[in-house]
Structure 1
Amino acid sequence: MNRQTSQLSHNSSTQLFYSQYLKQQQISPIAERFSGDEVSELRMKVDQLTKQLEFKEKMISEMRAHQKQLMNRLPEPKQFQQDNFTERLKEFEQKMKEKEVQFQNQLIESSLLMKENQSLKQEITRLENCIKDPSIPKFVNSIVDLVIQCHPINHFPASKPDLRQCWRWLKKILNDYIQLKQQKH
């Protein structure tokens, strides 16, 4: 009876991961728009891992059926042999559980990686849209003009300072201002 319960719980955990996989498949058309080859690679990896899981589950069920047949064929075993067999069976079941947990962790990691890639792609597109915003170059040009107006003529070796020089100059002025404010108080 315990083996049947164990088989049912094992199948339900497999169904849970398979349903999560199906949910990921429903999200995938949106993800393809953002991530391209990376998502397809992760999908292939998930498919491979799912096939491996199904194969291992099939092997486990075959092994359990074979084990049942062997148990039915055995004549009344001696207590020593039965204890040894039970001990080895427990070790085998423990190793199977460890492998199953390891596989499930790999599956979870790959799905988390897929979600992380999706969010990174969305953030990249958002930043690209910010860069394409027409107000940003206007703002940068106004800061550069302000820096040029605050310095004497021919202070910068090039005709216009680059954005890095402007930023350093603004930081220096703000730091000096903060120090003066702190000295007053």
Structure 2
Amino acid sequence: MNRQTNQLSQNSSTQLYYSQYLKQQQVSPIAERFVADEVQELRKQIEQLTKQLEFKEQMISEMRAHQKILMNRSSEPTHQQKDILVEKIKEFEMRLKEKEAQFQNQLIENSLLVKENQSLKQEIIRLESLIKDPSIPKFVNSIVDLVRQCHPQNHFPNSKPELRECWRWLKKILNDYIQIKQRMH
């Protein structure tokens, strides 16, 4: 019970620290939820893997205790009994190695997910900083105004043309210009 309380307080303090960090970095609530959800999911996976490891270690200790009991029961095991025990031990060691390899692979995958999550977070921060750049909206607005001024007054159903329409118009103008330049040369 104490361990669960410790984990809950650790999780809540970690989440509080992380949310404060994200606020300092001026990350949007969407990115905060994305990162917190990913971190929470990774914590759950690590907790599950830790429980599996503890269970397997308990199984190992029980099997060793059982092995000692069996060894103590028969004072002088026969050759056949020794061979059977050796075979069982080898089989158990092989299964143990397989489980260790699986655990290591899961740990590596989780580490890669954490690294990928960090790179995604950095990319989100970079994109948000680009969006917050004040020159981008000014540039877009000036292009939209240029397109609107070059067309008749009621040409666009809305008061402003859409960005897609502006882009098409600019491409057409540039293509025409390039063709005229090529004809002159």
TM-score (norm 1): 0.64
SS at match of 1:156: coil
Q: Relative to 1, partners in 2 of residues 1:131 and 1:76: Cα closer, same or farther, differing over 3 Å?
A: same
Deviating runs (4+, > 3 A) in structure 1? 28-34, 71-85, 149-155, 171-185
2:86 matches 1:52: no
Amino acid in the other structure paired with 1:121: K
The secondary structure found in structure 2 opposite 1:42 is helix
Aligned residue in 2 for 1:13: none
CA separation of 1:179/1:80 partners in 2, compared to 1, >3 Å: closer, same or farther? Answer: farther
- Relative to structure 2, which stretch is displaced further, 175-184 or 153-162? 175-184
Does the Cα contact within 8 Å between 1:144 and 1:161 map onto a contact in 2? yes
Partner of 1:98: 98
Cα distance in 1, alignment partners of residues 86 and 179 from structure 2: 78
Local SS of the residue matching 2:123: helix
Does structure 2 retain, via aligned residues, the 8 Å contact 1:31–1:118? Answer: no
Deviations 1:94-144 (A, max 9, x none): 222212221222222223223322322232232222212211110101111
| Higher mean displacement: 87-96 or 139-148 | 87-96
1:126 matched residue in structure 2: 126
Which segment is superposed worse, 75-84 or 111-120?
75-84
Contact preservation (8 Å) 1:42, 1:110 = yes
Corresponding residue of 1:14: none
In the alignment, what sits opposite 2:107? 107
Query: Is the partner of 1:36 in helix, strand or coil?
Result: helix
Distance 1:184 1:102, change over 3 A: farther
2:117 match: secondary structure = helix
Aligned residue in 2 for 1:21: none
Q: Quote the Cα distance in structure 2 between the aligned partners of 1:184 and 1:93.
A: 82
Identity across matched positions, percent: 72
Shift of residue 91 of structure 1?
Answer: 2.3
Aligned residue pair count? 159
Tell me, yes or no, if the aligned pair for 1:148 and 1:160 is still in contact at 8 Å. yes
Q: Classify 1:178/1:97 alpha carbon distance in 2 versus 1 (closer, same or farther; 3 Å).
A: farther
Query: What is the CA deviation profile of residues 60-111 of structure 1, one whole-angstrom value per residue up to 9, with x for unaligned ones?
Result: 2342343244345445444444334433332222222212221222222223
The CA RMSD over aligned residues, in Å, is: 3.4
> What residue number does 1:170 align with?
170
